[in-house]
Amino acid sequence: MIKQFAKTLTSFFMHEMIIESEDYEVYLYGTEQLLINLSILLVVITTSAITGWWKETFFFFYGIIPIRVVAGGYHASTPFRCNKLTIVVYIVNLLLINALVSRMTVLVLIMMFGFIVLSVFRIGPVDNKNREIKNREYESVWKRSKKVCIFIVMICVVQLLLLGPQSSILMSTLMGAVVATISLIIGSIVRGGGRNEENRFCT
């Protein structure tokens, strides 16, 4: 339905000569992506409004977005599938956060911190066909991935010290980072492993 609406909208713009015919495919992709992202935003806002889990939602995305943007990870075969997966992961994690937060211990949290750091340091960054990292860019992205990872983990440590292990804010941030890390691992497997260690910093 979204794809058909994007086609109708883009065709209207072309018919009204707002865009050139040779730019049709570019605008079609952009319009489709915009509509998909708006639908995700609508689902997130609606879910948060119904459940009242606004802070859990905010800190979940606060944990997931920096690592995901910088270090990369798994992407589904189409934007629609990727964004549908995002909605499913978001809702499942909201349920997990609220179910598990009261059972969190310092030991479990430390193990989760270690999982994130070891995975990002060992695997990240992971590129894909939608976002290929050139060799000359790789060292810079590699360093940024580790800085972002350390930053998110340090935020979680501060939350732990200030709010305690059974904080929904801490749990939400941490689960976001864990999801981003799992995406990184899956992306690496789908890609066929990491880059050649000897060549990855070549220009």
Question: What gap in Å lies between CA 25 and CA 161, rounded to an integer?
Answer: 51
Report how far apart, in Å, the C-alpha atoms of 124 and of each of 57, 120, 133, 150, 197 are: 25, 5, 12, 13, 12
Residues in Cβ contact with 61 at an 8 Å cutoff, skipping those fewer than 6 apart: 176
Quickly count: other Cβ atoms within 10 Å of residue 8's Cβ: 11
pLDDT in tens, the chain (203 residues): 666 666 676 776 667 666 676 666 777 777 777 888 888 899 999 999 999 999 999 999 999 999 988 888 877 777 778 788 889 999 999 999 999 999 999 999 999 999 999 999 998 787 766 566 777 777 888 888 999 999 999 999 999 999 999 999 999 999 999 999 999 999 888 877 555 444 444 43
pLDDT in the model for residue 90: 93
pLDDT for position 197? 43
Q: Are 167 and 97 in contact (CB under 8 A)?
A: no
Specify the pLDDT at position 163.
Answer: 95
What was the pLDDT predicted at 178? 95
Would you state the pLDDT for residue 77? 72
| Domain assignments of the chain as residue spans, ordered by start | 1-51, 53-203
Please report the pLDDT score of residue 83 as a whole number. 80
Alpha-carbon gap, residue 47 to 44, rounded angstroms: 5
Q: Within a 13 Å sphere around the CA of 29, how many CA atoms are in the beta-carbon half?
A: 6
